[in-house]
Structure formats: C-alpha cells, structure tokens
Amino acid sequence: MSQRQVQLTRLLALALLLGVLMMAPVGARQSFVGETAKEEASANSRTVDGLAGDEIVTRMIERNRLRNEHLQSYSAVRKYEIRNPDGRVSAEAIVRVDYRAPGKKTFQKVSEEGSWVVRRLVFDRLLQTEEETSSGQERHDSAISDNNYQFTIIGEENLGTRRCFIVEAKPKRTDKYLFVGKLWIDAQDFGIAKISGHPAAKLSFWITRADFVREFQRVEGFWLPRLDETIVELKIHGTRVFRIEHQQYVINAANDLEPERPD
C-alpha cells in the first residue's frame, strides 16, 4: 500500500471513529429510552443525598424524556477543528446545524479552510453520517439507557457552579456504538452535564486509542452540547485532536419547556 493510500485509509478510519463517538454518547439532544431503569440501572446500594443509584438514574432518564418531548427545534453554529501532533490546525470548518423533532438534522457550511483531504474525508463524511443516522436505528442502539448500560454511582463533583453526581457507565455488550466511561448528572435537574470515555469496541486497525469528552450547557432548560474533544492515537503518525465547539444556540419559540423546580 502506498503512503498516500495509507494516509487516506487512516483518515477514513478517523471519520468512522468520530462519527461513532458523536452518535454513541448522545444525539444532538440527549436521547434516552427504557422504562425499567429502577429495576436494572444499578446494583449499587450507595446513596447520595438520600438517593440510591437506581433512583438517580431513573430520574435522569425520566427528566430527559420530558425535555426531549418539549424540544421541537433549534439552530446552532459548530466549529470543527483537527490539530496535528505539533498543535497546528490541519483543517477547520464552520457549520450551521438545524434540528427538527423527532430527529432530523440538516447542515450548511458557512466557511472552511485547511487540508482539502481532511475536510472531505473527515468533516464531510462526519456530517453526512450524522444527518443520515440522527433518527435511525443507530440512535436507539447507542442511547444512554438501561437497555444498553449498567450504571453505578461512584461519587459527586462540582462542574463550575453546578453540583453533579458521577455515574460509571458499563456497556452491556461489546458494540461500536457504545462507550465505557462516566457521566456527570446535574444534582438539581438530572440533566447530563458531561460525559467522558472511550469506545467499547475496537473500530480500526489504524486507531490504537481514542478518548473523548463531551461537555453540555443548559440553554433555556435544555441540556445541549457545548464542546466535544476527542484525542486519537493513530498508528504511524501519532496523535490527532478533534474538537467541535457548539455555539449560538437559538431555541425556537415552539418549545414549551416549563422551568424546573429544585427537589
């Protein structure tokens, strides 16, 4: 295989990985399914603020189900960026995303610069995959739910000014759409404030390790992505850092989520 073919193969593998990580933790809005969380979510009897692990996860699933029902549409601007091992930006794109319930997303590029190959084989592939799968079976296969994960409460931590429960998530099967990691659940309204982890299954010969962090922000009562960062170790040419900044959210007027009261 020529050096050029090797580079293209690695880029395609990188696009596959990033697509899975974007979809596996959550969709554009937090996506949860399952009605039996109280029975299966956690075998751990540890309590935090008098709440057992299974009760915290049950509240998380229910609160996010209600938010999903009320989130009818939004628009946002994303900044995609890939950095080389020396820290230089190899490619960048600014993209507008529009969401319509129950899962339709459309994308429009505003600007782009840097490597044409990276932009076409990584960014374009990633946008196409997310648009095609945002409401399909893959979304359900990757949902953060008691169907896909076993949850265990392991502690608590403050993220900025918000206090969070820390939950360990272990997938119930080895699947490229699932991850091994942790969730930070807001102690007031039980939204997911942060996720970190790595894929549950090896995705490519060219990728030796991948760790991701997804941070959320609370916008008019809805928890929506703020920052995605994935550090990928590739064979031959080392580490790549992939970032997506989610900015300028506009929650459209049709959404009617009522303010949530503290417990």
DSSP 81-95: EEE-TTS-EEEEEEE
Indicate the DSSP class of residue 58: H
Give the pLDDT score at 24. Answer: 44
The ranges of the chain with pLDDT < 50 are 24-29, 31-44, 262-263
Contact between residue 210 and residue 232 where contact means Cβ atoms under 8 Å apart: yes
Identify whether 165 is part of a domain. Answer: yes
Per-residue model confidence as pLDDT tens digits over 221-259: 899 999 999 888 877 767 888 899 999 999 976 665 655
Number of domains, the chain: 1
**133 Cβ neighbours under 8 A, 6+ residues apart:** 19, 23, 139
In a domain, 94, yes or no: yes
Domain presence at residue 146: yes
- Whether 179 is in a domain gets the answer yes
DSSP 37: H
For residue 69, what are the CA distances in angstroms to 20, 135, 151, 222, 262?
24, 14, 24, 11, 20
- The confidence score (pLDDT) of residue 232 equals 85
* Residue 263 located in a structural domain: no
Instruction: Establish if 259 belongs to a structural domain.
Output: no
Range(s) of the domain holding residue 236: 3-251
Residue 37 sits at the vertex; the CA angle it makes with 34 and 39, to the nearest 5 degrees, is 130
DSSP 137: H
What are residue 138's phi and psi, to 5 degrees?
A: -60, -30
